[in-house]
Amino acid sequence: MPHRFQSTEVELFEFLLEDEFEFSATPERVWQALTVDIGSWWKAPYTLLSDTEEVRLEATVGGRFMESCGGEDGALLGLVTEIVRGRLIRIRILRPRAGIFPHEVCFTLEKQSDDSCMLKLRHESWLKRGEHAEISKHSILTTWQAVLDDRLRKFLSTAG
C-alpha cells in the first residue's frame, strides 16, 4: 500500500493578550486557587472534553495541565514550562483549538496590599489568518474573562 502524505500551508499571525485582574485575596490564596483548587472552579463549558470530571494543574516544571474523565480517561492540555512558586506559572498549551495554534499562557501574581493581589495574564498564540481570526481572538478574550474574572473571582469570594 502506497504512503499518503498531505500538506496544508497556513498563514499565521502572532496574537498577544495581556490583562490584569485584581482580587480581594492574598497572592498565596490566589496561587492555591490556581493550582491546588483549580478543579473546583474551572469547569464546562471551558473544558475540552464534554465528560470532564476534573481539571488539574500540577505546579512543577513538567507538570501537567489536564482534564480527567475518571480512571485513565482524559486529555493532556498543556505542560508547565516555568514556575516561581507563589508568584508565576507558565504553561505551554498542547491542545490547540480550531484556528488557534500552539500557545503559551503565563500567570503572574503581585501583592497589592495585605489582602489583595493582581493576577497578570499573558496569552501568546499563533492564529490562522482569515475569516475566523476575529472569532478566535474574541473567543480567547471572552474565555479568560469568564474563567478568571467570573469563575475564579466567585470561587475566591465564597471559598474564604
Let me know the angle formed at the C-alpha of 102 by 79 and 134, rounded to the nearest 5 degrees: 130
- 118-130 tens-digit pLDDT: 999 999 987 777 7
Provide the mean pLDDT of the chain: 89
Domain coordinates in residue numbering, the chain: 14-159
pLDDT over 70 (residue 13): yes
CATH code linked to domain 14-159: 3.30.530.20
pLDDT over 90 (residue 8): no
The DSSP code for 81 is: E
Closest CA to 77 of 99, 110, 111, 49: 49
Task: Tell me how far CA of residue 102 lies from CA of 33, 42, 155, in angstroms.
Answer: 25, 21, 29
CA-CA distance, 158 to 46, in Å (whole number)? Answer: 20
pTM of the model: 0.86
- 148-160 tens-digit pLDDT: 999 999 999 997 5
